[in-house]
């Protein structure tokens, strides 16, 4: 990253905005991540993105093997600016990628002898997989999973809406995580990279500003 360009873009932000970026980044984590697999309802994926932002999850993997979709900006309510959206077209490749990054693949399901949410071990990195509204996760994910997780339920209904499930799970695991001594925070390098992206998404006409800066730098 060009530090001079970084400093130049900062000059277009208010002191309050820069302070807010620092404050939020200090609470962000990549200790956990979220993966949605072929979620059919657009508003559900958008709501999950909003939930990730609320609970400080930086990365959201959206796997769309059946049909490509867009994030509904109205439902995401600006979260698409702050969460790093990782689109993937293959669930197998996504599983391999998160495992290579050190994540356990955790399939969320009310069945499969799943562990209760309250007993979940937050000390290890985990990628929480959420599946289609009607069918749940694919056999590929279920077979590749390192663990299964369920939300305790006490009524007749066996499942929750995906966005509700994500909110309950993330609130629980993030709260537990922050009570530990684990180094869950982003590295300083990661913070700078993300802040750079946030600035570009915040500043109007940032492409023209960057282009002009680079031209002036060559002179």
Residues 43-56 have pLDDT tens digits of 888 899 999 999 99
8 A C-beta contact, residue 160 and residue 15: no
Angle at 79 between CA 182 and CA 211, to 5 degrees: 100
Q: Which helix (H) or strand (E) holds 85?
A: strand 84-88
Q: Is the pLDDT of residue 65 over 80?
A: no
Residues 6-44 have pLDDT tens digits of 999 999 999 999 999 999 999 999 999 999 998 877 788
Q: Is the pLDDT of residue 2 over 90?
A: no
Highest mean pLDDT among 22-31, 57-66, 206-215: 22-31
CA 22/CA 15 separation, integer angstroms: 11
Fold of the 29-184 domain: Alpha/beta knot (3.40.1280)
Region 100-118 average pLDDT? 87
Distances from the Cα of 111 to the Cα of 15, 33, 51, 114, angstroms: 50, 22, 24, 6
Residues 120-135 have pLDDT tens digits of 999 999 999 998 877 8
Predicted pLDDT of residue 74 = 62
Q: Is the pLDDT of residue 94 over 90?
A: yes
Domain with CATH 3.40.1280.10 in the chain: 29-184
């Amino acid at each position: 990253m060009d530090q001079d360009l970084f400093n130049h873009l900062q000059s277009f932000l208010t002191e309050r905005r820069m302070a807010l970026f620092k404050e939020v980044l200090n609470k962000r984590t990549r200790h956990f991540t979220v993966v949605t697999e072929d979620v059919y309802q657009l508003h559900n994926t958008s709501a999950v993105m909003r939930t990730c932002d609320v609970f400080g999850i930086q990365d959201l993997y959206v796997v769309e093997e059946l049909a490509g979709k867009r994030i509904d900006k109205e439902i995401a309510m600006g979260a698409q600016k702050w969460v790093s959206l990782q689109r993937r077209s293959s669930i197998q490749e996504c599983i391999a990628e998160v495992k290579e990054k050190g994540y356990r693949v955790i399939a969320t399901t009310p069945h499969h002898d799943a562990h209760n949410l309250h007993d979940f071990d937050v000390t290890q990195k985990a990628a929480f997989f959420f599946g289609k509204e009607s069918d749940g996760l694919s056999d590929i994910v279920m077979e590749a999973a390192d663990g299964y997780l369920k939300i305790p339920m006490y009524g007749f209904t066996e499942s929750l809406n995906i966005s509700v499930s994500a909110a309950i799970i993330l609130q629980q695991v993030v709260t537990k995580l922050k009570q530990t001594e684990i180094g869950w925070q982003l590295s300083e390098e990661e913070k700078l990279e993300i802040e750079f992206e946030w600035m570009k998404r915040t500043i109007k006409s940032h492409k023209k500003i960057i282009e002009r800066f680079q031209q002036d730098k060559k002179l």
